[in-house]
Copies of this chain bind each other. A is one copy, B any other.
Amino acid sequence: MSEQQQAAISRFPVPELSEMPEDIRDRILAVQEKAGFVPNVFLVLAHRPDEFRAFFAYHDALMDKPGNLTQAEREMIVVATSNLNQCQYCVVAHGAILRVRAKDPLIADQVAANYRKADITERQKAMLDFAVKVSMQAFAVSEEDFATLKRHGFDEDDIWDITGIVSFFGLSNRMANVTSMRPNDEFYSLGRQAR
């Protein structure tokens, strides 16, 4: 009855849970258990099981592992670059995750529209300046950019992490735009309650 039930979540075929390979179904059921709903990216990419597996393995290697970047900082990178790539799915879905991770109901909309004006640290703005440069003109990244990041306290591994996240979500943005991947209605309100 909701609009979403009628609205397609992909312009490509989306398999039924029952048709999916077991490992993919298991991952989806685990996500549903944890989040209370299945983010559409799981269903849309299940159209291609091998790509699904690689995609989420890559995602987890960058977003769920230990490291100096906080989980909120990783999501800021996703939100800022995805908005410049005009990726509706990633801005809405990762905006929600950013609000939850940062326990801040305002931060995602701030970072999406113009991170330079967001309630974040100068260090985080430097991180996003670099992220945007990797997204838009990685060919021109130079040792000066590395030096700027180091002045803000980032080390070599942090810089690799930022780069990896930008690069991976650049892939994700392009897939989402071409598949017309629809953000779940649930994402829009997640994490908007006052702290």
Contacts and interface: CB of A to CB of B under 8 A. Distances in A.
Q: Interface of chain A, helix or strand or loop or mixed?
A: helix
Nearest to A82: B113
Interface in A41-95: 47-48, 50-51, 53-55, 57-58, 60-62, 65, 82-83, 85-88, 91-92, 95
Contacts of A185: 106
A13 B157 CA distance: 10
Given A50-B57, A138-B178, A164-B51, A106 B188 contact: yes
Nearest 7 Cβ contacts at the A-B interface:
A86-B139, A54-B58, A50-B61, A54-B57, A138-B177, A88-B113, A167-B174
Contacts of A26: none
Q: Which of A53, A57, A142, A192 neighbours the largest number of chain B CB atoms within 10 Å of its CB?
A: A57
A3 interface: yes
A116 B138 contact: no
| Integer count of this chain's copies in the complex | 6
Interface residues of A, number: 68
Contacts of A119: 3, 7
A86 to B, nearest CB: 3
Nearest to A91: B113
Nearest to A130: B178
A168 interface: yes
A189 interface: yes
Interface in A1-38: 3, 7, 12-13
Contacts of A82: 113
A135 B173 CA distance: 10
B61 A58 contact: no
A39 interface: no
Interface in A107-133: 109-110, 112-114, 116-119
Given A51-B61, A57-B57, A170-B171, A178 B192 contact: no
